[in-house]
Amino acid sequence: MASVQKVITASRIFTESIDRTGVTPGNSAVAALTEVDRNGTPFQGDATMKVYNVVPLNNRFIVRGEVDWEPAIRIRITVIFE
């Protein structure tokens, strides 16, 4: 299995594209969300988060999710795929 990560700032429903050379629509993929501090270190915050969709396309993934928090916070999206 392989993985790719991206740190973004998000609040409420978001859609994010994550580039990864070699990915095709035939790949299987799952995604996870975690809150991160300014250094990119994960921590257990008070925000709740959900992953709605993970779509493998040619050379990228589209991830749709939700961060139930205002204002926007830094999160890390991890996609694990094969």
- At 31-76, the pLDDT tens digits run 999 999 999 999 999 999 999 999 999 999 999 999 999 999 999 9
Domains of the chain are 2-81 (2.60.40)
Confidence of residue 27 (pLDDT cuts 50, 70, 90): very high
Q: What is the 3-state secondary structure (H, E, C) of 2-63?
A: EEEEEEEEECEEEEEEEECCCCCCCCCEEEEEEEECCCCCECCCCCEEEEEEEEEECCEEEE
pLDDT at 52: 98
